Amino acid sequence: MKFSVSSSALLSLLATTGKVISNKNTLPILDYFLMELQGGELKVTTSDLETTLVGSIQVDSVESEGTIAAPAKLMLDSLKEFPEMPLTIDVNDKNWEIKINWKSGSLSIPGASAVSYPAVPQLSAEKKELKLDVDTLVAGINKTIFATADDELRPVMNGIYISLTPGALTFVGTDAHKLVKYESEMENEVNASFILPKKPANLLKSVLLKEDDAIEVAFDSKNALFKLKSHTLVCRLIEGNYPNYNAVIPDNNPNKVLVDRIELLNGIKRVAVCSNPTTNLIRMDIADNKIALTAQDIDFSVSANETISCSYDGQPISIGFKSTFLVEILANMETPTVMVELADSTRAGVFKPVYDEKQTNSSLMLLMPMMINA
């Protein structure tokens, strides 16, 4: 196996695919890149047995084709030290030595046989296929991933629930305290759903930024496959039934607050410094077009308060929220104004972005309240 390639193109490919490699691999071969050269195309595969990412680039002056397992850390550490320049990679098929040659020098890295590298999982014949718009997929992941849980007892909450119905695509993330639902209009024949784990969702997020065309998606009951321009991601899905999220979204919220998002976010951050470090409780008293924010830690005799003006339609209400969750929710919205809908101090608050014109998508964020001492 011998070919020439640009140092930066190779580093970019290895750095992207290398994100899959886990620090706690059970198989030593998973600490390697599987590199396959065929017909002028270099294909690099990485896997942690749950997620597999395959990337490819075109290379120059191929003298011989072949396959090798290359140690990931050594390859990345070596390539990071090169400016943009042509490199010649020469692999000895007998002792698996990888030689990287450049104009003024060379280095040698021990490779390994690729025979024991796990095969890319194949989807069953009953798979469902569709095309997804890049921007919709990126927005859906970005808006919901922060709300997913890290709960070993309820693994279904550790991923993003993606639901397809004729006319709509819905993304949901929840950890039982906060919930985000992002819905986008979409022409679609498939009626199905799956739970995408957090790691492949984060990988997709970074790889999709370089894409322009629609993404081909296929999934069955166990795996999902995302086909991009120069990458293919295959991941094992989280199995189980996702909780009925619609049941916890309150329908009738008579108290409505319109408020400047940044003003509220900054006010919460300032006041939260004095909240109890265990509960992070922040109290909101809403009446007369004003939100009074209060936080205190009795143990250390610290307290803070701030009053923010808003437009309020409803009865006076006092409600408590965890400040860290409030900050996350407000930071993950992009509109200048938000609508907060409340029923009473024991029911979830619903946060919605306020747009100037009609959107083809909608999002809502829900936060469970905390007990406050009246």
In this predicted model, what pLDDT tens digit does every residue of 292-327 receive, in sequence order?
Answer: 999 999 888 999 999 999 999 999 999 999 999 999
Residue type, 307: T
Mean per-residue pLDDT, 71-88: 95
Beta strand pairing call for 361-367 and 311-313: unpaired
- Closest residue by Cα to residue 70 from 43, 105, 49: 43
Q: What per-residue confidence (pLDDT) applies to 7? A: 95
Residue 124 has pLDDT above 90, yes or no: yes
For 106-123, the pLDDT digits (tens) are 999 999 999 999 999 999
- Closest residue by Cα to residue 170 from 334, 364, 352: 364
pLDDT band at 201 (very low <50, low <70, confident <90, very high): very high
Mean per-residue pLDDT, 50-60: 94
Residue 139 has pLDDT above 60, yes or no: yes
Percent of the chain with pLDDT over 90: 83
pLDDT band at 171 (very low <50, low <70, confident <90, very high): very high
Q: What per-residue confidence (pLDDT) applies to 374? A: 56
> What sign does the CA torsion over 98, 100, 106, 107 have?
negative
Mean per-residue pLDDT, 229-249: 93
Scanning the structure block, which residue is given the tokens 């619609």?
246
Query: How many angstroms separate the most distant Cα atoms in the chain?
Result: 81
In whole angstroms, give the CA distance from residue 307 to residue 315: 18
Whole-number mean pLDDT of the chain? 93
CA distance readout (Å), 25 to 20, 30, 46, 151, 234: 11, 6, 12, 21, 18
Residue type, 370: M
For 143-157, the pLDDT digits (tens) are 999 999 998 889 999
Mean per-residue pLDDT, 158-182: 94
- Closest residue by Cα to residue 54 from 226, 224, 237, 236: 226
Mean per-residue pLDDT, 46-58: 95
Q: What per-residue confidence (pLDDT) applies to 307? A: 97
Task: Return the SS3 of 322.
Answer: strand
Residue type, 159: G
Residue 373 has pLDDT above 80, yes or no: no
Structure tokens at 35: 């590199």
Q: What per-residue confidence (pLDDT) applies to 212? A: 81
Task: Return the SS3 of 100.
Answer: strand
Q: What per-residue confidence (pLDDT) applies to 213? A: 83
- Closest residue by Cα to residue 140 from 86, 81, 217: 217
Q: Which helix (H) or strand (E) holds 237?
A: none
Q: What per-residue confidence (pLDDT) applies to 328? A: 94
